[in-house]
Amino acid sequence: MPNALTLDVRQPGSSTAVLDVQGDITADSEKPLMEAYAEAGSAKAIVLNFSGLEYMNSGGIGLLVTLLVRANRAKQKLLAFGLTEHYRQIFELTRIDEAIEIFGSEDEALQAASK
Amino acid sequence: MTTQEPTNAENWAKPVDSLHIAHDLPDHAINLNVEGKRVASMTSGFGKMWQKTYRVRLDGARVAPQQVVKVWKEHFPEFWQKGQHFFGPMASISPGDVALINVKTGGVKLSTGILVLYADDVSFSFMTPEGHMFTGMITFSARELEDGVTQAEIVALVRAQDPIYELGMMTMGSGAEDRQWLHVLRSLAAHFGVEGKPTLEKICVDRKRQWKRFGNVRRSAAIRTVFYSVTRPLRRKEKTRASA
């Protein structure tokens, strides 16, 4: 059974929002992902925390591309951390890592977000 | 970064630096623009980004989504329009497969290909090489609707890779692509004894063109294919002269 996606939105700084991913990202995850993005508001940088990601299929990759387009349109930076080695490779294969900067830890991601 | 392996790792293609077709091809296949090429970045296209969703309900066919996708993978090229060729592995479609495509789109012959990025029992997805008409991803899937009917679906999240393709898409290319996928869904439905009435929903995800990607045109598979076709008689002449 798929684990429905939930996202908690944190704002560790005035211009940065962290979206804590928990569960699966599939094509059916559009609503929670876009609602969390909307909750992040006008933050200059959106940091995706994938530590709680349990499963993602190609539909999930498509959703991340759509999220990236929205962030680019709003002139927001999109960063990520907490990816497993496998999903890091998927980001490299699809070359999404050229548009979403990936970091090993939250501290590194937040530091880059503040630049 | 963590090292925990996900439950669906076998459904994804393994990382590759460049593409390679590992199966035999028929003699008449034109193999250009795939071997040694990189996968096109999902975000590096030039044109407007579109999400096109093609759907067909398989009313009356008592068939599970898994069975639809199994048949779709095994008979994928047979559902294509006449004159459009998909040269994939003989058995089925599996993650990491690289297939050759020879098509005629908008009056232009094109030799290109795809990488099978992902495949499970209810879906499979393709990515394109640099130089292809579009960057992005196309996903083929089936699901059971609330009324119990199985629906087959194609979702293309794409943007034209360079300005020439964008122009082509604005004129004839987009319509040709729509006809192709609607035909595939009708053929798939017919395989299950259903007279399918496929639908198309188009959403413009990004209206902005990425002018910084103008230079993608130098990798255009269309230009390379046209050049290959135009110079073929010369190459034949050379070959004949050399063997004489």
**Range(s) of the domain holding residue B191:** 40-82+117-207
> Which pLDDT score is estimated for A100?
95
Strand order of the sheet with strand A16-25?
A6-13, A16-25, A45-56, A77-81, A101-103
Q: pLDDT band for position B107 (50/70/90)?
A: low
What pLDDT was estimated at residue B210?
A: 85
User: How close, in Å, is residue A14 to chain B by CA atoms?
Assistant: 26
Most confident stretch, B23-27, B171-175, B189-193: B189-193
SS (H, E, C) chain B: CECCCCCCHHHECCCCCCCCCCCCCCCCCCCCCCCCCCECCCCCCCCCEEEEEEEEECCCCCCCHHHHHHHHHHCHHHHCCCCCEEECCCCCCCCCCEEEEEEEECCEEEEEEEEEEEECCCEEEEECECCCCEEEEEEEEEEECCCCCEEEEEEEEEEECCHHHHHHHHHHHHHHHHHHHHHHHHHHHHHCCCCCCCEEEEEEEECCCCHHHHHHHHHCHHHHHHHHHHHHHHHHHHHHHHHC
Is residue B234 scored above 70 in pLDDT? yes
DSSP state of A9: E
Q: Is the pLDDT of residue B225 over 70?
A: yes
Which pLDDT belongs to residue B4?
A: 56
Measured between CA atoms, the residue of chain B closest to residue A50 is B1
Cβ contact A98–B41 (<8 Å): yes
Domain membership flag for residue B76? yes
Residue percentage of chain B with pLDDT more than 90: 54
Please give, rounded to a whole number of angstroms, the shortest distance from the CA of B155 to a CA of chain A: 9
What angle, 0 to 180 degrees and rounded to 10, lies between the N-to-C axes of helices A58-73 and A30-39? Answer: 30
Residue B95 is assigned to a structural domain of this protein = no
Cα three-residue angle B163-B168-B170, rounded to 5 degrees: 95
The pLDDT tens digits for B167-190 are: 888 887 678 889 999 999 999 999
| Domain count along chain B | 1
The per-residue pLDDT for range B65-95, each reduced to its tens digit, is 999 999 999 999 999 999 899 998 877 899 9
Chain-centroid distance of CA B223 in Å reads 18
What's the pLDDT at B13?
A: 96
ipTM of the complex model: 0.89
Mutate which of A25, A93, A98 to disrupt the B interface (most B C-beta within 10 Å)?
Answer: A93
- Kindly state whether residue B170 falls inside one of the protein's structural domains: yes
Contact check, Cβ <8 Å, B117/A94 = yes
In a domain? residue B19: no
Instruction: For residue B42, give how far its alpha carbon lies from the nearest alpha carbon of chain A (Å).
Output: 6
Q: Which residue has the higher pLDDT, B166 or B87?
A: B87
| Average pLDDT of span B153-170 | 88
Residue B159 belongs to a domain: yes
Distance from CA of B7 to the nearest CA of A (A): 7
Query: Residue A89, SS3?
Result: helix
Q: Are B102 and B85 in contact (CB under 8 A)?
A: yes
* Among candidate residues B54, B33, B28, B44, the one with its CA nearest the CA of residue B129: B33
Please report the pLDDT score of residue B5 as a whole number.
Answer: 59
Q: Which amino acid is at A26?
A: T
For chain A, 115 residues long, the average pLDDT of each consecutive 10-residue run is 88 93 94 96 95 94 94 94 95 94 96 91
* Cα-based angle A65, B76, B103 (whole degrees, multiple of 5): 75
pLDDT value, residue B177:
87
Residue B146's pLDDT is 95
CA distance B158 to B173: 13
Question: The domain spanning residue B192 has which CATH number?
Answer: 3.30.530
Strand runs labelled E in A1-115: 6-13, 16-25, 45-56, 77-81, 101-103
In a domain, B97, yes or no: no
Residue B28 lies in a domain: no
Residue B2 scores a pLDDT above 60: no
Of B3, B15, B127, the CB nearest to A84: B3
For residue B107, tell me if it sits in a domain. no
- Does residue B217 register a pLDDT over 90? no
pLDDT band at B6 (very low <50, low <70, confident <90, very high): low
Residues B8/A61, Cβ–Cβ less than 8 Å = no
* Beta pairing, strands A101-103 & A77-81: parallel
Looking at the partner chain, which of A56, A65, A86 has a beta carbon nearest the beta carbon of B42? A65
Query: What would be the CATH architecture of the domain defined by A6-110?
Result: 2-Layer Sandwich (3.30)
At B221 the pLDDT is: 73
Residue B161: predicted pLDDT: 87
Strands A45-56 and A16-25: parallel
